[in-house]
Amino acid sequence: MKKKVVFWILAVVISLGTMVYQRFTGPTYEKDYEISFKGAAYKFELPRSHGGNTDCPVEIELPAEFEGRIIWRKLNTNDPWDTITLVRKEGLLSTSLPHQPPAGKLEYHLELMADGKTIDLGDTENVVVRFKGSVPAWAQIPHILLMVLTVIWSTATIFFALANQPVFRRYVGMTVIFLLLGGFIFGPIVQKFAFGQYWTGWPLGEDLTDNKVLFALIAFLIAWFLRKKSYARWLAVGASLVMLAVYLIPHSMHGSELDYETGQVITGSIIVFLGRNSILKRK
Over residues 161-188, the pLDDT tens digits come to 999 999 999 999 999 999 999 999 999 9
CA angle 194, 144, 256 (to 5 degrees): 30
Helices and strands of the chain, counted as H and E runs: 6, 13
At 114 the pLDDT is: 92
> What is the distance between the alpha carbons of residues 49 and 130, in angstroms, rounded to a whole number?
5
At 276 the pLDDT is: 47
CATH number corresponding to 31-132: 2.60.40.10
At 253 the pLDDT is: 59
Over residues 92-108, the pLDDT tens digits come to 999 999 999 999 999 99
| Residue segments in the chain with a per-residue pLDDT below the cut of 70 | 251-255, 267-283
At 275 the pLDDT is: 44
> What is the distance between the alpha carbons of residues 113 and 35, in angstroms, rounded to a whole number?
12
> What is the distance between the alpha carbons of residues 112 and 18, in angstroms, rounded to a whole number?
35
In 3D space, the residue among 155, 191, 194 whose CA is nearest the CA of residue 171 turns out to be 155
Phi, psi of 184 (to 5 degrees): -125, 0
What's the predicted TM-score (pTM) here?
Answer: 0.84
At 279 the pLDDT is: 56
At 254 the pLDDT is: 60
CB 106 within 8 A of CB 89: no
Residues of CATH 2.60.40.10 domain(s) within the chain? Answer: 31-132
